[in-house]
Structure 1
């Protein structure tokens, strides 16, 4: 089954606009994806027909809001193949989800314990563990990678040991596009009894995430990387782990019983969801998943591979361009440098041509230092991008090169 990209694009109102008189070529999808009309409609419909707080009101609006909100949890649970719906914990995004886990683990860590992360981490999956280990006197170990952006699996296995309490790694590198062998990494960590957290921020939008098949304990992701709204995400955690996981935030709804002297926590998922949630965000995220799930996953992935292959081929023949990240297994991320040009200058010139990319360290400063570079220019592709837009990127790059020579 092929992907009807032109029909797909018509569902994204923002893609019809122009930048400085030129058609928008949006190639910053690893930062955030655009939103189809179905998601916009779902959010507007909530606010115009049943805006109310959930789980609390004794009236019809609250009942309807609660129904839609909890149906959204069911949608997420089905999408990632959770064991039970209560394993889906709403968060503001991947960062908060990782912090929720790190705060709980931090209450259990002690001197001599070890946490393992990788050289390719986003700050959210590095600094969080760094700080948790510092507070507990535990040790953070880092898995090295090869120059092409692939993890050194032998080194990873050598770092594992009886003191390993948790292993955290990205499903996909936001800076390089590397797809990590998360199932194999998880299985190896489990041989040592370690918990495993997968940062799924960049992996979730490419389809085929099955947390039971992966075998991890936690999978964290954001709605806005999956054609949904910002400010909403989810932590999936295996119920046997979450049932007694230390609480992080306290407040309303997560309480079973409270007196002036003490409190006890409710069951899942409430015990880990304090306060009024992002109701519209959850509904919008579910609408995005419903929309995305109607597409043929194999066709989506094939289209993204075609885009990356075209971009890579043109980059390899582009004089003075260096691709950063050449792993054998990648998704649609092309990070690069132009000889003698600062990435910020490249990004500015491309923007004037209507081409939107990311420049800088991609919230991965240690990775950039490991590679010996200050940052990159990054074009990242999604399902609504076209081969003509890949060509437009390189037309704009040739102009940038001429201007910066």
Structure 2
């Protein structure tokens, strides 16, 4: 896939760019970018793409950053995708190092987003630059895309799919430098038990929805789940509980529960909703009614772009798909080791791309177990290796099948 001489040149070019790569990753971590607050980091990334000589650079109407490296002769197109946002840092005192300092200790970069996914974002940006450093051009066009609001449903990716379609997508979600080819989806379900409020000193005057809620929660394990031969079974987890009261001496009138249902192919949102509703209706006590609905997700980007998001889609790209086969082969040639393919435990923007016909894989530095934790970090050596991997993928995935 990639000859030995080219591999050696890529590694040498990566070593030359290593310090610049790390400094850029630190700048990204030091730029706080919660969902809906990505303008500053978008401008930072767009500025870096311009300074590095990308052929075209733009920020679209949703606030996504797009950089283009034009190919030589119209081969398959590839998109290297990362998200600009991150989850909240929580209590800074729980972190080993301040979450937005971008500290490097013992050749490990620490900070919110180091693993998920600002380290990989930097590696993608510089991975394509390695090709320019060496005078290499992919056959097809390569895109870097930095999208907004991945952490809350994928507004940026969903908007991007409306106007940009590539033959393949390489996600920057953590894979420990192996391959990923899918994950389960996610459906959010709101279950409301509506009773009648009353003074807690006279419970007989009310209809306390907490008892119906308790019966429902105790029977949640009875709900049926589908299983996928590769992804395993779907799961459901109760996550949030709210009532309409803040006073401890008042029987609430409403109790609401949010369920996080991780789906496998074959499970449709409306079917899941109806199944949950059936159980909820079995659990209501006299004077209480149950209401079950899918969570509505309307998101607004920092540019004012508004979109109603569908449930997060899961997907499975077959192990024998060209993008998986070629990706594994070229990565093994540059990494000099066996590269495993598997599945993420969490959901990504990959489902948005797959539903529009874009074959999506994941390759990135970082351990997914560190994502969303106070130990968010990534090894500098892995950032460098990811640079080489992205450059090699750009060369290989833009060739036609017969050229591989």
TM-score (norm. length: structure 2): 0.23
| Structure possessing the higher radius of gyration over alpha carbons | 2
Bigger RCO of structures 1 and 2 (CA < 8 A, at least 6 apart): 2
The structure richer in helix per residue is: 1
Q: Structure 1 or 2: larger strand share?
A: 2
TM-score by length of 1: 0.23
